[in-house]
Structure 1
Protein backbone atom coordinates (compact mmCIF):
# COMPACT_ATOMS: atom_id res chain seq x y z
CA UNK A 1 0.00 0.00 0.00
CA UNK A 2 1.38 3.44 -0.91
CA UNK A 3 2.53 5.60 1.98
CA UNK A 4 2.77 8.78 -0.08
CA UNK A 5 0.62 11.60 1.23
CA UNK A 6 -2.07 12.88 -1.18
CA UNK A 7 -1.42 16.16 -2.95
CA UNK A 8 -4.06 17.89 -0.85
CA UNK A 9 -2.24 16.92 2.33
CA UNK A 10 1.12 18.08 0.99
CA UNK A 11 -0.38 21.44 0.05
CA UNK A 12 -2.05 22.15 3.38
CA UNK A 13 -0.95 25.39 4.94
CA UNK A 14 1.78 24.85 7.50
CA UNK A 15 2.00 26.54 10.88
CA UNK A 16 4.40 29.40 11.30
CA UNK A 17 7.97 28.29 11.91
CA UNK A 18 11.40 29.77 12.27
CA UNK A 19 12.26 32.24 9.53
CA UNK A 20 15.58 30.58 8.56
CA UNK A 21 13.97 27.15 8.42
CA UNK A 22 11.11 28.36 6.26
CA UNK A 23 13.46 30.21 3.89
CA UNK A 24 15.51 27.03 3.51
CA UNK A 25 12.35 25.07 2.66
CA UNK A 26 11.39 27.66 0.05
CA UNK A 27 14.85 27.60 -1.54
CA UNK A 28 14.95 23.79 -1.67
CA UNK A 29 11.49 23.66 -3.26
CA UNK A 30 12.36 26.42 -5.72
CA UNK A 31 15.51 24.58 -6.83
CA UNK A 32 13.44 21.54 -7.77
CA UNK A 33 10.72 23.56 -9.48
CA UNK A 34 13.12 25.78 -11.45
CA UNK A 35 14.90 22.67 -12.75
CA UNK A 36 11.69 20.76 -13.48
CA UNK A 37 9.66 23.57 -15.06
CA UNK A 38 12.34 26.06 -16.09
CA UNK A 39 12.55 29.58 -14.74
CA UNK A 40 9.76 30.85 -16.97
CA UNK A 41 7.47 27.94 -16.10
CA UNK A 42 8.03 28.26 -12.36
CA UNK A 43 5.64 30.51 -10.46
CA UNK A 44 5.43 31.80 -6.93
CA UNK A 45 2.17 29.84 -6.58
CA UNK A 46 3.89 26.57 -7.52
CA UNK A 47 6.72 27.19 -5.07
CA UNK A 48 4.33 28.22 -2.31
CA UNK A 49 2.15 25.12 -2.85
CA UNK A 50 5.20 22.87 -2.70
CA UNK A 51 6.17 24.31 0.67
CA UNK A 52 2.60 24.46 1.98
CA UNK A 53 2.37 28.24 2.17
CA UNK A 54 0.07 30.81 0.69
CA UNK A 55 1.59 33.03 -1.97
CA UNK A 56 1.14 35.98 0.39
CA UNK A 57 3.13 34.21 3.10
CA UNK A 58 5.93 33.39 0.67
CA UNK A 59 6.19 37.06 -0.33
CA UNK A 60 7.09 37.80 3.30
CA UNK A 61 10.36 35.92 2.68
CA UNK A 62 11.12 36.81 -0.97
CA UNK A 63 9.71 39.66 -3.10
CA UNK A 64 9.71 37.64 -6.34
CA UNK A 65 11.11 34.51 -7.94
CA UNK A 66 14.14 36.45 -9.20
CA UNK A 67 15.15 37.07 -5.59
CA UNK A 68 14.77 33.37 -4.86
CA UNK A 69 17.03 32.45 -7.77
CA UNK A 70 19.54 35.07 -6.67
CA UNK A 71 19.69 33.63 -3.15
CA UNK A 72 20.16 30.10 -4.53
CA UNK A 73 23.03 31.45 -6.61
CA UNK A 74 24.59 33.32 -3.68
CA UNK A 75 24.51 30.26 -1.44
CA UNK A 76 25.99 28.08 -4.19
CA UNK A 77 28.92 30.43 -4.71
CA UNK A 78 29.46 30.71 -0.97
CA UNK A 79 29.62 26.91 -0.69
CA UNK A 80 32.08 26.77 -3.57
CA UNK A 81 34.19 29.50 -2.00
CA UNK A 82 34.29 27.63 1.30
CA UNK A 83 35.41 24.48 -0.51
CA UNK A 84 38.13 26.48 -2.26
CA UNK A 85 39.36 27.91 1.00
CA UNK A 86 39.58 24.45 2.58
CA UNK A 87 41.53 23.19 -0.42
CA UNK A 88 43.94 26.12 -0.32
CA UNK A 89 44.42 25.94 3.45
CA UNK A 90 46.09 22.55 3.23
CA UNK A 91 49.85 22.57 2.81
CA UNK A 92 51.51 21.39 -0.35
CA UNK A 93 52.76 22.62 -3.73
CA UNK A 94 50.57 24.60 -6.12
CA UNK A 95 49.94 21.51 -8.25
CA UNK A 96 48.35 19.70 -5.31
CA UNK A 97 46.25 22.71 -4.33
CA UNK A 98 45.04 22.94 -7.91
CA UNK A 99 43.93 19.32 -7.83
CA UNK A 100 42.07 19.84 -4.56
CA UNK A 101 40.31 22.94 -5.87
CA UNK A 102 39.21 21.15 -9.03
CA UNK A 103 37.94 18.22 -7.03
CA UNK A 104 36.07 20.52 -4.62
CA UNK A 105 34.33 22.12 -7.61
CA UNK A 106 33.35 18.78 -9.14
CA UNK A 107 32.18 17.38 -5.81
CA UNK A 108 29.99 20.44 -5.25
CA UNK A 109 28.35 19.93 -8.63
CA UNK A 110 27.60 16.26 -8.02
CA UNK A 111 26.47 16.94 -4.46
CA UNK A 112 24.19 19.84 -5.44
CA UNK A 113 23.00 19.09 -8.98
CA UNK A 114 19.94 21.37 -8.91
CA UNK A 115 21.87 24.37 -7.63
CA UNK A 116 24.65 23.64 -10.11
CA UNK A 117 22.20 23.54 -13.02
CA UNK A 118 20.69 26.87 -11.98
CA UNK A 119 24.01 28.65 -11.46
CA UNK A 120 26.06 27.24 -14.35
CA UNK A 121 23.51 25.88 -16.83
CA UNK A 122 20.77 28.56 -16.85
CA UNK A 123 20.04 30.56 -19.98
CA UNK A 124 21.42 34.15 -19.99
CA UNK A 125 17.90 35.62 -20.36
CA UNK A 126 16.88 34.00 -17.10
CA UNK A 127 20.07 35.06 -15.32
CA UNK A 128 19.13 38.69 -15.95
CA UNK A 129 16.20 38.31 -13.57
CA UNK A 130 18.14 36.60 -10.81
CA UNK A 131 21.73 35.62 -10.19
CA UNK A 132 23.50 37.69 -12.83
CA UNK A 133 25.16 39.96 -10.27
CA UNK A 134 26.20 36.97 -8.16
CA UNK A 135 27.57 35.18 -11.21
CA UNK A 136 29.62 38.23 -12.15
CA UNK A 137 30.90 39.15 -8.71
CA UNK A 138 31.11 35.95 -6.68
CA UNK A 139 31.77 33.75 -9.71
CA UNK A 140 34.58 35.99 -10.94
CA UNK A 141 36.12 36.11 -7.48
CA UNK A 142 35.91 32.33 -7.23
CA UNK A 143 37.59 31.81 -10.58
CA UNK A 144 40.33 34.33 -9.77
CA UNK A 145 41.32 32.34 -6.68
CA UNK A 146 41.68 29.30 -8.94
CA UNK A 147 43.55 31.26 -11.59
CA UNK A 148 46.04 32.60 -9.05
CA UNK A 149 47.15 29.07 -8.22
CA UNK A 150 47.65 28.39 -11.94
CA UNK A 151 49.68 31.61 -12.13
CA UNK A 152 51.99 30.23 -9.43
CA UNK A 153 52.74 27.31 -11.71
CA UNK A 154 53.36 29.69 -14.60
CA UNK A 155 55.78 31.74 -12.50
CA UNK A 156 57.65 28.55 -11.62
CA UNK A 157 58.01 27.71 -15.32
CA UNK A 158 55.74 24.66 -15.07
CA UNK A 159 53.12 25.57 -17.70
CA UNK A 160 53.25 24.73 -21.41
CA UNK A 161 50.60 27.41 -22.12
CA UNK A 162 49.77 30.74 -20.51
CA UNK A 163 48.04 30.69 -17.13
CA UNK A 164 44.80 32.23 -18.37
CA UNK A 165 44.35 29.59 -21.06
CA UNK A 166 45.26 26.75 -18.70
CA UNK A 167 42.91 27.96 -15.96
CA UNK A 168 39.96 28.28 -18.32
CA UNK A 169 40.62 24.89 -19.91
CA UNK A 170 40.86 23.18 -16.51
CA UNK A 171 37.62 24.80 -15.35
CA UNK A 172 35.93 23.82 -18.61
CA UNK A 173 37.05 20.24 -18.05
CA UNK A 174 35.52 20.13 -14.59
CA UNK A 175 32.32 21.74 -15.78
CA UNK A 176 32.10 19.33 -18.69
CA UNK A 177 32.21 16.26 -16.48
CA UNK A 178 29.65 17.61 -14.02
CA UNK A 179 27.22 19.08 -16.53
CA UNK A 180 27.23 16.03 -18.79
CA UNK A 181 26.81 13.48 -16.01
CA UNK A 182 23.97 15.31 -14.25
CA UNK A 183 22.12 16.21 -17.46
CA UNK A 184 22.62 12.86 -19.26
CA UNK A 185 22.14 10.26 -16.51
CA UNK A 186 20.93 7.69 -19.04
CA UNK A 187 24.35 7.52 -20.75
CA UNK A 188 26.50 4.51 -19.93
CA UNK A 189 29.05 6.46 -17.91
CA UNK A 190 32.11 4.83 -16.39
CA UNK A 191 32.63 5.19 -12.65
CA UNK A 192 32.29 8.85 -11.70
CA UNK A 193 35.49 8.94 -9.66
CA UNK A 194 37.43 7.24 -12.45
CA UNK A 195 36.13 9.71 -15.03
CA UNK A 196 36.87 12.73 -12.83
CA UNK A 197 40.40 11.55 -12.12
CA UNK A 198 41.08 10.76 -15.79
CA UNK A 199 39.86 14.22 -16.83
CA UNK A 200 41.94 16.02 -14.20
CA UNK A 201 45.15 14.05 -14.64
CA UNK A 202 44.89 14.08 -18.43
CA UNK A 203 44.59 17.86 -18.55
CA UNK A 204 47.32 18.41 -15.99
CA UNK A 205 49.67 16.05 -17.80
CA UNK A 206 49.12 18.07 -20.98
CA UNK A 207 49.63 21.48 -19.38
CA UNK A 208 52.37 20.85 -16.82
CA UNK A 209 56.05 20.49 -17.52
CA UNK A 210 57.93 17.90 -15.40
Structure 2
Protein backbone atom coordinates (compact mmCIF):
# COMPACT_ATOMS: atom_id res chain seq x y z
CA UNK A 1 0.00 0.00 0.00
CA UNK A 2 1.50 3.39 -0.98
CA UNK A 3 2.61 5.62 1.84
CA UNK A 4 0.57 8.77 2.36
CA UNK A 5 2.51 12.07 2.24
CA UNK A 6 3.30 13.67 5.55
CA UNK A 7 2.29 17.25 6.35
CA UNK A 8 5.85 18.44 5.65
CA UNK A 9 5.93 16.91 2.15
CA UNK A 10 2.35 17.58 1.04
CA UNK A 11 2.72 21.40 1.00
CA UNK A 12 0.05 23.93 1.91
CA UNK A 13 -3.51 23.22 0.89
CA UNK A 14 -5.32 26.15 -0.68
CA UNK A 15 -8.27 27.15 1.46
CA UNK A 16 -6.95 25.39 4.57
CA UNK A 17 -7.64 27.42 7.70
CA UNK A 18 -4.57 29.08 9.20
CA UNK A 19 -3.79 29.60 12.88
CA UNK A 20 -4.47 32.90 14.59
CA UNK A 21 -1.80 35.51 15.14
CA UNK A 22 0.72 37.24 12.91
CA UNK A 23 -1.78 40.04 12.28
CA UNK A 24 0.50 42.35 10.29
CA UNK A 25 1.70 39.56 8.00
CA UNK A 26 -1.86 38.29 7.59
CA UNK A 27 -3.08 41.73 6.50
CA UNK A 28 -0.31 41.79 3.88
CA UNK A 29 -1.43 38.36 2.60
CA UNK A 30 -5.01 39.58 2.35
CA UNK A 31 -3.99 42.68 0.42
CA UNK A 32 -1.82 40.69 -1.97
CA UNK A 33 -4.60 38.18 -2.65
CA UNK A 34 -7.26 40.88 -3.04
CA UNK A 35 -5.06 42.81 -5.44
CA UNK A 36 -4.79 39.76 -7.73
CA UNK A 37 -8.50 38.93 -7.47
CA UNK A 38 -9.69 42.49 -8.07
CA UNK A 39 -7.70 42.57 -11.32
CA UNK A 40 -8.56 39.00 -12.32
CA UNK A 41 -12.35 39.08 -11.90
CA UNK A 42 -12.99 42.80 -11.44
CA UNK A 43 -13.72 44.66 -8.24
CA UNK A 44 -17.46 44.02 -8.48
CA UNK A 45 -16.93 40.32 -9.17
CA UNK A 46 -14.64 39.81 -6.17
CA UNK A 47 -16.13 38.70 -2.88
CA UNK A 48 -14.90 38.64 0.69
CA UNK A 49 -15.37 34.86 0.69
CA UNK A 50 -13.15 34.41 -2.35
CA UNK A 51 -10.43 36.62 -0.86
CA UNK A 52 -10.67 34.75 2.45
CA UNK A 53 -10.43 31.37 0.72
CA UNK A 54 -7.35 32.52 -1.18
CA UNK A 55 -5.45 33.18 2.05
CA UNK A 56 -6.89 30.26 4.01
CA UNK A 57 -9.15 32.24 6.34
CA UNK A 58 -12.82 32.13 7.14
CA UNK A 59 -14.84 35.16 6.08
CA UNK A 60 -15.37 35.93 9.75
CA UNK A 61 -11.63 35.91 10.41
CA UNK A 62 -11.00 38.21 7.46
CA UNK A 63 -13.53 40.70 8.83
CA UNK A 64 -11.29 41.01 11.89
CA UNK A 65 -8.73 42.68 9.60
CA UNK A 66 -10.98 44.60 7.18
CA UNK A 67 -14.59 45.58 7.72
CA UNK A 68 -15.56 45.58 4.04
CA UNK A 69 -14.28 45.18 0.50
CA UNK A 70 -13.91 48.92 -0.10
CA UNK A 71 -11.59 49.17 2.91
CA UNK A 72 -9.33 46.55 1.33
CA UNK A 73 -9.23 48.50 -1.94
CA UNK A 74 -8.43 51.75 -0.15
CA UNK A 75 -5.60 50.07 1.76
CA UNK A 76 -4.14 48.62 -1.46
CA UNK A 77 -4.05 52.13 -2.92
CA UNK A 78 -2.64 53.63 0.29
CA UNK A 79 0.19 51.10 0.43
CA UNK A 80 0.97 51.63 -3.27
CA UNK A 81 1.22 55.39 -2.80
CA UNK A 82 3.38 54.91 0.30
CA UNK A 83 5.84 52.74 -1.65
CA UNK A 84 5.94 55.24 -4.50
CA UNK A 85 6.43 58.09 -2.04
CA UNK A 86 9.40 56.27 -0.49
CA UNK A 87 10.95 55.81 -3.94
CA UNK A 88 10.44 59.48 -4.75
CA UNK A 89 11.94 60.59 -1.45
CA UNK A 90 15.03 58.49 -2.13
CA UNK A 91 15.44 60.31 -5.45
CA UNK A 92 14.86 63.70 -3.83
CA UNK A 93 17.58 62.97 -1.26
CA UNK A 94 20.19 62.30 -3.93
CA UNK A 95 22.56 65.13 -4.87
CA UNK A 96 22.45 66.75 -8.27
CA UNK A 97 20.71 69.47 -10.27
CA UNK A 98 16.89 69.58 -10.42
CA UNK A 99 16.72 68.51 -14.08
CA UNK A 100 18.57 65.29 -13.17
CA UNK A 101 16.17 64.69 -10.27
CA UNK A 102 13.24 65.27 -12.62
CA UNK A 103 14.44 62.56 -14.98
CA UNK A 104 15.05 60.13 -12.11
CA UNK A 105 11.56 60.80 -10.71
CA UNK A 106 10.03 59.95 -14.07
CA UNK A 107 12.14 56.79 -14.30
CA UNK A 108 11.14 55.77 -10.75
CA UNK A 109 7.45 56.32 -11.47
CA UNK A 110 7.55 54.21 -14.63
CA UNK A 111 9.57 51.47 -12.91
CA UNK A 112 7.05 51.36 -10.06
CA UNK A 113 4.18 50.89 -12.48
CA UNK A 114 5.87 48.04 -14.32
CA UNK A 115 7.00 46.36 -11.09
CA UNK A 116 3.52 46.63 -9.49
CA UNK A 117 1.07 46.32 -12.39
CA UNK A 118 -1.93 45.13 -10.35
CA UNK A 119 -1.59 47.87 -7.75
CA UNK A 120 -1.05 50.41 -10.53
CA UNK A 121 -4.24 49.33 -12.30
CA UNK A 122 -6.29 49.62 -9.13
CA UNK A 123 -4.74 52.93 -8.12
CA UNK A 124 -4.61 54.79 -11.42
CA UNK A 125 -6.87 52.94 -13.87
CA UNK A 126 -10.05 52.89 -11.81
CA UNK A 127 -13.56 52.48 -13.08
CA UNK A 128 -16.43 54.42 -11.46
CA UNK A 129 -17.26 51.70 -8.90
CA UNK A 130 -13.63 51.41 -7.79
CA UNK A 131 -13.28 55.17 -7.59
CA UNK A 132 -16.42 55.34 -5.47
CA UNK A 133 -15.24 52.57 -3.17
CA UNK A 134 -11.86 53.90 -2.13
CA UNK A 135 -9.42 54.34 -5.00
CA UNK A 136 -10.37 57.92 -5.75
CA UNK A 137 -10.15 58.99 -2.11
CA UNK A 138 -6.62 57.60 -1.84
CA UNK A 139 -5.62 59.21 -5.13
CA UNK A 140 -6.93 62.61 -4.08
CA UNK A 141 -5.19 62.66 -0.71
CA UNK A 142 -1.99 60.62 -1.03
CA UNK A 143 -1.64 60.95 -4.79
CA UNK A 144 -2.11 64.70 -4.57
CA UNK A 145 0.76 64.97 -2.11
CA UNK A 146 2.93 62.85 -4.37
CA UNK A 147 2.17 64.98 -7.41
CA UNK A 148 2.82 68.26 -5.58
CA UNK A 149 6.32 67.05 -4.70
CA UNK A 150 6.90 66.25 -8.37
CA UNK A 151 5.56 69.65 -9.43
CA UNK A 152 7.94 71.32 -6.96
CA UNK A 153 10.91 69.77 -8.78
CA UNK A 154 9.57 71.14 -12.07
CA UNK A 155 9.36 74.56 -10.37
CA UNK A 156 13.03 74.17 -9.36
CA UNK A 157 13.94 73.46 -12.98
CA UNK A 158 12.00 76.57 -14.03
CA UNK A 159 13.82 78.67 -11.42
CA UNK A 160 17.11 77.74 -13.07
CA UNK A 161 15.77 78.89 -16.45
CA UNK A 162 15.59 75.42 -18.02
CA UNK A 163 11.89 75.19 -18.89
CA UNK A 164 10.52 76.06 -22.32
CA UNK A 165 6.95 76.53 -21.08
CA UNK A 166 4.83 77.14 -17.99
CA UNK A 167 5.72 74.91 -15.00
CA UNK A 168 2.22 73.61 -14.22
CA UNK A 169 1.50 72.58 -17.80
CA UNK A 170 4.97 71.08 -18.09
CA UNK A 171 4.53 69.00 -14.93
CA UNK A 172 1.19 67.64 -16.13
CA UNK A 173 2.59 66.84 -19.57
CA UNK A 174 5.50 64.94 -18.06
CA UNK A 175 3.23 62.95 -15.74
CA UNK A 176 0.79 62.21 -18.56
CA UNK A 177 3.64 60.84 -20.67
CA UNK A 178 4.95 58.62 -17.90
CA UNK A 179 1.45 57.38 -17.04
CA UNK A 180 0.70 56.73 -20.69
CA UNK A 181 3.61 54.40 -21.33
CA UNK A 182 2.91 52.40 -18.16
CA UNK A 183 -0.86 52.11 -18.65
CA UNK A 184 -0.56 51.14 -22.31
CA UNK A 185 2.06 48.45 -21.75
CA UNK A 186 0.34 46.81 -18.78
CA UNK A 187 -3.15 46.87 -20.32
CA UNK A 188 -2.12 45.99 -23.89
CA UNK A 189 0.51 43.26 -23.41
CA UNK A 190 -0.44 41.67 -26.75
CA UNK A 191 0.89 44.64 -28.74
CA UNK A 192 4.28 44.19 -30.38
CA UNK A 193 6.08 46.59 -28.06
CA UNK A 194 9.78 47.23 -28.24
CA UNK A 195 11.61 46.43 -25.01
CA UNK A 196 10.29 48.13 -21.90
CA UNK A 197 13.55 49.91 -21.13
CA UNK A 198 13.99 51.08 -24.73
CA UNK A 199 10.48 52.51 -24.91
CA UNK A 200 10.76 54.18 -21.51
CA UNK A 201 14.10 55.76 -22.36
CA UNK A 202 12.83 56.97 -25.74
CA UNK A 203 9.68 58.48 -24.21
CA UNK A 204 11.50 60.27 -21.36
CA UNK A 205 14.25 61.52 -23.72
CA UNK A 206 11.60 62.98 -26.04
CA UNK A 207 9.73 64.67 -23.18
CA UNK A 208 12.87 66.15 -21.68
CA UNK A 209 14.16 67.38 -25.06
CA UNK A 210 10.84 68.96 -25.95
CA UNK A 211 9.99 70.58 -22.61
CA UNK A 212 13.37 71.52 -21.13
CA UNK A 213 16.09 73.78 -22.43
CA UNK A 214 19.65 72.42 -22.60
Question: What TM-score does the superposition give when structure 2 sets the normalisation length?
Answer: 0.92
Q: Aligned runs of 1:7-156 on 2, under 5 Å? A: 9-156=13-160
Gaps (5+ residues) in structure 2? 1-11
Deviation per residue, 1:159-185 (Å, 9 max, x gap) = 111111111111111111111111111
- Confirm or deny that 1:200 pairs with 2:214: no
**In structure 2, distance between residues paired with 1:17 and 1:27:** 17
How much has 1:156 moved relative to structure 2? Answer: 2.1
Q: Distance in 2 between matches of 1:21 and 1:156?
A: 46
Deviation at 1:91, TM superposition (A): 0.6
Residue 74 of structure 2 aligns to a residue whose secondary structure is helix
Task: Provide the secondary structure at the position in 2 that maps to 1:122.
Answer: coil
1:158 matched residue in structure 2 = 162
Note the alpha carbon deviations across 1:36-73, whole angstroms, 9 max, x for none. Answer: 11111111011011111110000000000100001101
Shift of 1:131: 2.7
Q: Distance in 2 between matches of 1:204 and 1:97?
A: 12
Deviation at 1:125, TM superposition (A): 3.0
Unpaired segments ≥5 residues, structure 1: 1-7
> Would the aligned equivalents of 2:126 and 2:135 in 1 still touch at CA under 8 Å?
no
The number of residue pairs the alignment matches comes to: 204
Structure 1 runs (4+) deviating above 4 angstroms are none
Give the deviation of 1:136 after TM superposition.
0.6
Backbone CA RMSD of aligned residues: 1.4
